[in-house]
Amino acid sequence: MTNYLELAQDVVKRAAASGVQAEAIITQDSETQIKVSKGEVEQLSQSSSRGLGVRVIDGGKTGYAYTSDLSEAGVESTWRTALELAAVATPDALRGLPEPHPISSEDLEIWDESLPNIPTSDKIELIKEVERGALDYDPRVILAEFCVYGDNINHVYLANSRGFAGQYGRTVTFAEVMGIARGEDGEMTNAFGLGASNFFRDLNAREIGREAGEKAVSLLGGKPVETQVGTVVLDYFVGAQILAALAQALSAESWQKKRSFLLDRMGQQVGSDMVTLMDNGRLKRGLASAPFDGEGVPTAATRLVDEGVLQNLTYDSYAAAKAGVQSTGNAARAGHRSLPGLGPSNFYMQPGNVSREEIIAGVEKGLYVISVMQTGGIDPVTGDCSMGANGLWIENGKIVGPVGGVTVATTLDGFLNNITQVGNDLRMVPFFGSIGVPTLRVDNVTIGGSK
């Protein structure tokens, strides 16, 4: 059996013999995706891939080549092609491989050793149970759409000519479903249920399905409220979409291209003291956790906003070289086919110590937002934030009925500064990267409905 780390090191040695910096990455992946509908498997796909990517940097000139052919001829052709491409590339003096640093041996708990041996039949049964969980919640749940299970088993082997060599394995599993409910008047509503973990046995099929069914039914009969400025309570799935934009705004690359609403506000108060934003590539059981990033830099827990004060940005080695600082270990790669680029790891808001129920109980009048549609959108450059919304109306701390056909509008500045409570129910969402957010109370939001 091929030792892929040794192969990566050998490729680096051969490519670097020409007096250049060289890096080799080998990835090995297998994926499963299962979609069910009405108790039957509608789609089942299983795939696997492996490949080699070689980066050569010669006096700031970068060449990159990749292949899925790991034969001797395929490997040699790939590193030679990378050398040839580097020879004709445009130089950039800031391009170079990062200085090696020790990698912690801490167990990040990102490998489910049982997953490769779990029968496909067990995975099918899990996603069927998700569908039943949605449909069984209430007779008004008439359909469970987009009922999908997926998993990924990923191995990474990375080496470079500056002395780095490392490997890790990571597993990710998820299940999702959209519950569709129909009221007596024929009105239809929908809502998502979601679960994701590094470990298959962590997925609670009935709870994922129930979440979708319960939310969809709760929205039936929703009508607009009067236009007003008031309080909103954001469900985790809604908050995650806003945090995905904040992750972009807190990227050093966005700052260097002057494409962030937070530009030049380092050290300033940019949010309420309830707001602490983290990018943590070392989060235990984090969906994007790894011992090192896409270019071999140790991952880290980076406090970007601390109790409302902007303290740091995310950096890969190139953005860090531009700024004259250290990389935060945020070089991301989409497998062996891609060069490393700056991206978030596990980006999340630090949870508070109150429950969602306690947050709702403290609202005199406001909207609990369960689902949104990107109407005006969320713009990390301008800070504009406007979404079509459905949810539940709150009066005197109690939910009194459904709301539909409204918009919620603020700015990302306003969002950060008007967060007055943060829940203890942090949930990670794998659809916008790996974004985590608890239930949030945000005041002074424009709720646009009937006049």
Model confidence over 120-164: pLDDT tens digits? 999 999 999 999 999 999 999 999 999 999 999 999 999 999 999
| Mean pLDDT computed over 420-433 | 91
In this predicted structure, the answer to whether residue 451 has a pLDDT above a threshold of 90 is no
Assess contact for 167 and 8: CB atoms under 8 A. Answer: no
Task: Identify the pLDDT of residue 60.
Answer: 96
Structure tokens at 97: 């491989």
Task: Identify the pLDDT of residue 431.
Answer: 76
d(CA 403, CA 449): 10
Count of other CB atoms within 10 angstroms of residue 254: 22
Task: Identify the pLDDT of residue 328.
Answer: 98
Structure tokens at 373: 């549609």
| Mean pLDDT computed over 397-403 | 97
d(CA 424, CA 356): 8
Task: Identify the pLDDT of residue 450.
Answer: 81
| Mean pLDDT computed over 344-351 | 98
pTM (2 d.p.): 0.96
As a whole number, the mean pLDDT across the chain is 96
Alpha carbon distances (Å) from 15 to 183, 284, 390: 66, 36, 57
Where residue 376 falls among pLDDT bands split at 50, 70, 90? low
Q: Where in the chain are the domains?
A: 4-216, 222-451
Q: What is the pLDDT of residues 29-48, one digit of tens each?
A: 999 999 999 999 999 999 99
Q: Where are the beta strands (DSSP E) in 38-164?
A: 40-58, 61-67, 141-160
207: enclosing H helix or E strand: helix 205-218
Phi, psi of 235 (to 5 degrees): -65, 155
Assess contact for 324 and 266: CB atoms under 8 A. Answer: no
State CA 292 to chain mean position distance: 17
Question: What is the amino acid identity at position 431?
Answer: F
Alpha carbon distances (Å) from 303 to 310, 360, 440: 9, 28, 19
Task: Identify the pLDDT of residue 245.
Answer: 95
Assess contact for 422 and 352: CB atoms under 8 A. Answer: yes
Task: Identify the pLDDT of residue 2.
Answer: 83
CATH 3.30.2290.10 fits 4-216, yes or no: yes
d(CA 120, CA 99): 43
CA neighbor of 133 nearest in space, from 197, 194, 199 = 194
For 226, which DSSP code? Answer: B
Count of other CB atoms within 10 angstroms of residue 412: 24
Structure tokens at 214: 């319960």
Task: Identify the pLDDT of residue 109.
Answer: 98
In this predicted structure, the answer to whether residue 432 has a pLDDT above a threshold of 80 is no
| Mean pLDDT computed over 407-419 | 97
Structure tokens at 377: 């959108």
d(CA 347, CA 301): 10
Give the rounded percent of residues in the chain with a pLDDT score beyond 70: 99
Task: Identify the pLDDT of residue 433.
Answer: 74
d(CA 149, CA 198): 13
Alpha carbon distances (Å) from 430 to 106, 248, 316, 347: 23, 16, 21, 11
Rg (CA), the chain: 24
**Exposure string over 376-392, b if 16+ CB within 10 A, otherwise e:** eebbbbebbbbbbbbbb
Where residue 239 falls among pLDDT bands split at 50, 70, 90? very high
d(CA 229, CA 444): 6
177: enclosing H helix or E strand: strand 165-182
The structure tokens 């979601």 sit at: 194
Q: What is the pLDDT of residues 269-315, one digit of tens each?
A: 999 999 999 999 999 999 999 999 999 999 999 999 999 999 999 99
The structure tokens 């449909």 sit at: 135
d(CA 277, CA 302): 9
CA neighbor of 241 nearest in space, from 355, 387, 368 = 387
Assess contact for 385 and 246: CB atoms under 8 A. Answer: no
Where residue 375 falls among pLDDT bands split at 50, 70, 90? low
In this predicted structure, the answer to whether residue 373 has a pLDDT above a threshold of 90 is no
Q: Where are the beta strands (DSSP E) in 337-397?
A: 341-342, 346-349, 365-378, 384-395
